[in-house]
């Protein structure tokens, strides 16, 4: 069974369901046969990738959809071999160099240079340049980003980069200065609800308006999530009822339970139990940044403005440290411990006052 | 990947990857304007008077010191040295220049081998065709801020020993990333962010050459949003010109979208929400703002300006808020979550504005 998210992905710029004005402008851009390097940024599930694929299709025609996957190996200066999956068509290739962590610079150096130096001459009058799509560009190390700078200028005639990122702030200024920024905001609740209904129709599934709206709301304006939960709901129970529960992702439920445990009891034993659960989440591949963001529901359980502020302050400080360190669990656990201590102190003061 | 490279339609009859002049002509049809209007000669360089003067003297036969260029992106550092080198060496340019940038391997080993070997080559004061040229080679280390300190240290000896026949030109954004022994061996030139007047002139020139119809207002906006980065201004101009429908002129909202500037109303709302001092409201506002995907670093830059010039905020409050902005800005650039930083900043602002 194929996923509805992938199956009903629009394939041309004119068929995109939201940010239509931007799609129109992108169409104008490629119609003249050329475009600058692009930096496409927006929250996850906002349809950045879809937009990029539509753009490529507009540029090269259906050929870009014939994809190959290859494992390519790179050799680091210290003679270590790293492997990376590369998806490519005749016209473009897609890489996620941050998959190889700190060796991403090697990938960027080697890959871009080989591609960029291979001139493309096309008898059929196709484009003179190839496109390299770099996903998670904001996850690239600073070294790798620096390695892109001059390459981007030098080989401009033969190669264009499309950098896809969640946030533009994490891309260094010299790179931003070399790209046209394309901001892709998350679709609104209404837009998502409409798309959910539309996809339902294509799968001959009738979605009651109330349910569509609730699916959209619980997705946090993440279209991919919304479509995934639509499909999950369909498996759970069909025909739909308007008040049917919206399936949420397992890990979110798990995290919410964890947060409840923290609020219920603050003790070393509890901290120990919570750590086990955090480990569980990490080993299942949930990104630590998301866990941090999820744990902020703890803040909602604080009754006091001052306390809330302090908790937010700790969270943002520890989240920053987490980005710099290599062991996520330390910082997550530190946050939980600090929360427990702050919360407990506040509560006991409250009780004293009564 | 192999097939991707192979299907580069590089048929057997075609030339190998070395670029000849015929190819240049072909690709020039779609050269981006930043490249098309890259200064060809030292005189083309806008602003940056000091460097231009030194290089001009050198073109007139004077000796060239080791150079260190530093300054923000898009101010002409790379362009200047490349243009000067082209003028100095003409067609033997390729033999006399070793350009290494951050995309090249530049560890200690490379410095010891490649750079050293190149530095030791002799350079005559005559071109093959008999015309005179300076008796040295230039090693350009572009984007030197990304070189490790160890590699920089390895450069010291070479720089000193081969000073007779080799000049070095180091280029970086932050001079503080270059070790002191190197900076002291170079003449330093700071590349200023370009003045608004100069950028405007350049944009007007390009508009005329390319036949773009742009109102004065739009150009002004491009100039202001570029913050002295000419490359950014030119890229934005070209993007604006290409993104709009044929036949229509570029309007100010197009510019704002292309340059990624956060609309004022978001900033004002942020301050209002902070003043309301209601955590739930702040959280939902930050959530909404995050969904819009504006670059938080850009937002904080704008917020900083707004806070500094606000009249209904006391100096004390301003100090507290600005310090927090600095902290959050730094964390964001380090890769911390934009959402949490914004929330933290919001909380701190609410607290500062409360009193
Ligand atoms: N002073 C200038 N005079 C003329 N054009 C300039 C100047 N500064 C920048 N430009 C324009 O911007 C483009 C980029 O300039 P350049 O590559 O020299 O920037 P840079 O200082 O090396 O930036 P970075 O630090 O990002 O490498 C040039 O192609 C040119 O079009
Ligand atoms: Mg440069």
pLDDT digits (tens, 9 = 90+) for A254-297: 998 999 999 899 999 999 999 999 999 999 888 888 888 888 87
Give residue A212 CA to ligand 2 midpoint distance, Å.
50
In this structure, which ligand is nearest to the CA of B38? 1
Distance from CA of A244 to the nearest CA of B (A): 26
Choosing among 1.10.1060.10, 1.20.272.10, 1.10.260.30, 1.50.10.10, the CATH entry for A250-353 is 1.20.272.10
Set of chain A residues whose Cβ sits within 8 Å of the Cβ of B11: 121, 123
What is the model's pTM? Answer: 0.87
Run of H or E residues at B258: helix B252-259
A9 contacts: CB under 8 Å, gap ≥ 6: A50, A53
- Residue A110 has a pLDDT of 85
ipTM of the complex: 0.88
Q: Which of B170, B231, B233, B235 to mutate to test the pocket of ligand 1 (most atoms within 8 A of CB)?
A: B231
Set of chain A residues whose Cβ sits within 8 Å of the Cβ of B347: 308-309, 312-313
A292 contacts B279? CB cut-off 8 A: no
pLDDT of A47 over the 80 cut: yes
Equal CATH topology for A4-183 and A250-353: no
For chain B, say whether A289 makes contact (Cβ under 8 Å): yes
Q: Do the beta carbons of residue B216 and residue B250 sit within 8 Å?
A: no
- The 10s digit of each residue's pLDDT in B118-159 is 888 887 777 777 777 888 889 999 989 888 888 899 888 888
Binned at pLDDT 50, 70 and 90, residue A17 comes out as: confident
Phi, psi angles (nearest 5°) of residue A83: -115, 145
Looking up tokens 């192979």 gives B6
Closest C-alpha residue for ligand 1 atom 19:
B74
For chain B, say whether A21 makes contact (Cβ under 8 Å): no
Q: Give me the residues of A, 30-59, that contact B with CB < 8 A.
A: 32-36, 41-43, 46
Of B35, B259, B295, the CB nearest to A156: B35
> Could you tell me the CATH superfamily of domain A4-183?
P-loop containing nucleotide triphosphate hydrolases (3.40.50.300)
Set of chain A residues whose Cβ sits within 8 Å of the Cβ of B24: 157
- Residue A188 has a pLDDT of 93
B19 contacts: CB under 8 Å, gap ≥ 6: A119
Distance from CA of A252 to the nearest CA of B (A): 17
- The 10s digit of each residue's pLDDT in A293-341 is 888 877 777 778 888 888 999 999 999 999 888 789 999 999 999 999 9
Whether omega for the bond prior to residue A287 falls within 30 degrees of 0, making it cis, is: no
- The 10s digit of each residue's pLDDT in A226-247 is 999 998 888 888 788 888 888 8
Q: What is the mean predicted confidence (pLDDT) over A177-205?
A: 91
- Residue A332 has a pLDDT of 94
Q: What is the mean predicted confidence (pLDDT) over A53-75?
A: 87
Give residue B172 CA to ligand 2 midpoint distance, Å.
8
Phi, psi angles (nearest 5°) of residue B188: -90, 140
* Distance separating alpha carbons of residues B337 and B335, to the nearest angstrom: 7
- The 10s digit of each residue's pLDDT in B199-238 is 999 999 999 988 888 888 899 999 998 889 999 999 989 8
Of A32, A123, A151, the CB nearest to B9: A123
Of B73, B335, B339, the CB nearest to A323: B335
* Distance separating alpha carbons of residues B226 and B46, to the nearest angstrom: 15
Q: Give me the residues of A, 79-138, that contact B with CB < 8 A.
A: 86, 88-90, 93, 108-109, 111-115, 117-123, 126, 128-130, 138
How many Cβ pairs closer than 8 A exist between chain A and B? 228
Q: Which of B76, B102, B144, B192 to mutate to test the pocket of ligand 1 (most atoms within 8 A of CB)?
A: B76
Give residue B101 CA to ligand 2 midpoint distance, Å.
9
DSSP A84: E
- Residue B140 has a pLDDT of 93
Residue B147: count other Cβ atoms within 10 Å of its Cβ.
27
Binned at pLDDT 50, 70 and 90, residue A120 comes out as: low
| Per-domain boundaries in chain A | 4-183, 189-236, 250-353
Which segments of chain B have a pLDDT < 50? 3, 6-28
How, if at all, do strands A92-95 and A130-134 pair?
parallel
Q: Do the beta carbons of residue A307 and residue A341 sit within 8 Å?
A: no
Looking up tokens 């998301």 gives A290
A320 contacts B334? CB cut-off 8 A: yes
Distance from CA of B264 to the nearest CA of A (A): 17
In this structure, which ligand is nearest to the CA of B74? 1
Binned at pLDDT 50, 70 and 90, residue A1 comes out as: low
pLDDT of A109 over the 90 cut: no
- Residue B16 has a pLDDT of 38
CA nearest to A174, candidates B257, B326, B50, B235: B235
For chain B, say whether A150 makes contact (Cβ under 8 Å): yes
- Residue B18 has a pLDDT of 38
Q: Which of B230, B232, B234, B236 to mutate to test the pocket of ligand 1 (most atoms within 8 A of CB)?
A: B230
Task: Kindly state the tokens that stand for B110.
Answer: 């490379």
CA A81 to chain centre: 27
Distance from CA of B48 to the nearest CA of A (A): 19
Q: Which residue of A has its CA nearest to B4?
A: A90
B102 contacts A147? CB cut-off 8 A: yes
**Ligand 1-lining residues (CB < 6 angstroms):** A 149, 174, 177; B 34-35, 37-39, 45-48, 73-79, 173, 230-231, 234
- Residue A329 has a pLDDT of 93
* Distance separating alpha carbons of residues B52 and B57, to the nearest angstrom: 9
A24 contacts B245? CB cut-off 8 A: yes
Of B10, B17, B337, the CB nearest to A292: B337
Give residue A310 CA to ligand 2 midpoint distance, Å.
43
Set of chain A residues whose Cβ sits within 8 Å of the Cβ of B32: 34, 36, 156
Q: Which residue of B has its CA nearest to A309?
A: B347
A274 contacts: CB under 8 Å, gap ≥ 6: A258, A261, A262, A333, A336
Q: What is the mean predicted confidence (pLDDT) over A23-46?
A: 87
A169 contacts B103? CB cut-off 8 A: no
B290 contacts A315? CB cut-off 8 A: no
Q: Which residue of B has its CA nearest to A69?
A: B1
Closest C-alpha residue for ligand 1 atom 30:
B38
Closest ligand 1 atom, residue B172 Cα? 25
Of B31, B231, B336, the CB nearest to A177: B231
Between CA B80 and CA B87, with CA B86 as vertex, the angle to 5 degrees is 90
């Amino acid at each position: 069974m194929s996923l509805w998210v992938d199956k009903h992905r629009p394939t041309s710029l004119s068929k995109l369901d939201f940010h239509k004005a931007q799609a129109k402008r992108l169409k104008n851009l490629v119609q003249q046969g050329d475009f600058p390097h692009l930096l496409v940024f927006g929250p996850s599930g906002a349809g950045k990738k879809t937009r990029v694929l539509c753009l490529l299709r507009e540029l090269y025609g259906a050929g870009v959809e014939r994809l190959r996957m290859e494992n390519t190996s790179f050799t680091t200066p210290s003679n270590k071999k790293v492997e990376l999956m590369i998806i490519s068509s005749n016209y473009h290739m897609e890489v996620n160099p941050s998959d190889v962590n700190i060796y991403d610079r090697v990938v960027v150096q080697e890959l871009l240079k080989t591609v960029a130096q291979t001139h493309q001459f096309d008898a059929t009058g196709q484009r003179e340049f190839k496109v390299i799509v770099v996903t998670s560009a904001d996850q690239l190390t600073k070294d790798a980003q620096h390695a892109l700078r001059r390459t981007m200028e030098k080989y401009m005639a033969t190669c264009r980069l499309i950098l896809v990122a969640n946030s533009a702030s994490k891309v260094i200024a010299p790179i931003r200065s070399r790209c046209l920024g394309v901001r892709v905001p998350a679709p609104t609740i209404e837009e998502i609800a409409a798309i959910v209904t539309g996809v339902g129709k294509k799968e001959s599934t009738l979605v009651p308006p109330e349910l569509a709206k609730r699916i959209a709301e619980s997705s946090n304006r993440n279209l991919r999530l919304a479509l995934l939960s639509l499909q999950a709901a369909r498996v759970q129970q069909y025909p739909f009822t308007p008040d049917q529960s919206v399936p949420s992702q397992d890990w979110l439920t798990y995290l919410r339970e964890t947060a409840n445990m923290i609020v219920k009891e603050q003790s070393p034993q509890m901290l120990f139990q919570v750590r086990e659960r955090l480990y569980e989440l990490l080993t299942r591949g949930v990104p630590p940044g998301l866990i941090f963001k999820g744990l902020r529901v703890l803040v909602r359980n604080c009754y006091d403005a001052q306390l809330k502020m302090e908790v937010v302050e700790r969270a943002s400080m520890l989240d920053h440290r987490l980005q710099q360190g290599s062991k996520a669990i330390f910082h997550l656990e530190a946050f939980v411990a600090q929360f427990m201590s702050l919360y407990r102190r506040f509560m006991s003061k409250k009780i004293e006052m009564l | 990947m192999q097939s991707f490279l192979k299907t580069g339609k590089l048929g057997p009859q075609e030339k190998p990857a070395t670029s000849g002049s015929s190819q240049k002509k072909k690709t020039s049809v779609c050269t981006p304007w930043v490249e098309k209007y890259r200064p060809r000669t030292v005189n083309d360089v806008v602003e940056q008077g000091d460097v231009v003067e030194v290089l001009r003297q050198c073109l007139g036969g004077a000796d060239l010191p080791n150079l260190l260029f530093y300054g923000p992106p898009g101010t002409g550092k790379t362009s200047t040295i490349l243009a000067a080198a082209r003028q100095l060496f003409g067609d033997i340019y390729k033999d006399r220049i070793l350009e290494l940038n951050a995309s090249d391997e530049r560890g200690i080993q490379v410095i010891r081998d490649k750079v050293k070997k190149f530095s030791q080559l002799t350079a005559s004061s005559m071109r093959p065709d008999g015309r005179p040229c300076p008796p040295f080679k230039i090693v350009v280390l572009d984007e030197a801020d990304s070189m490790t300190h160890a590699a920089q240290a390895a450069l010291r000896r070479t720089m000193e020993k081969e000073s007779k026949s080799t000049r070095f030109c180091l280029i970086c954004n932050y001079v503080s990333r270059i070790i002191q022994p190197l900076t002291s061996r170079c003449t330093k030139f700071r590349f200023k962010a370009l003045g608004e007047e100069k950028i405007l002139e350049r944009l007007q020139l390009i508009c005329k050459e390319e036949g773009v119809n742009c109102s004065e207002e739009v150009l002004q906006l491009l100039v202001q949003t570029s913050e002295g980065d000419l490359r950014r201004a030119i890229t934005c101009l070209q993007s604006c010109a290409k993104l709009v429908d044929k036949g229509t002129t570029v309007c100010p909202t197009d510019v704002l979208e292309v340059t990624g500037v956060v609309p004022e109303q978001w900033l004002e709302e942020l301050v209002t929400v902070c003043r309301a001092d209601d955590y739930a409201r702040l959280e939902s506002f930050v959530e909404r703002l995050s969904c819009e995907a504006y670059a938080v670093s850009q937002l904080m830059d704008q917020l900083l300006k707004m806070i500094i010039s606000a009249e209904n905020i006391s100096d004390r409050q301003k100090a507290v808020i600005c310090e927090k902005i600095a902290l959050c800005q730094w964390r964001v650039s380090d890769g911390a979550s934009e959402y949490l930083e914004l929330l933290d900043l919001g909380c701190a602002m609410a607290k500062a504005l409360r009193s």
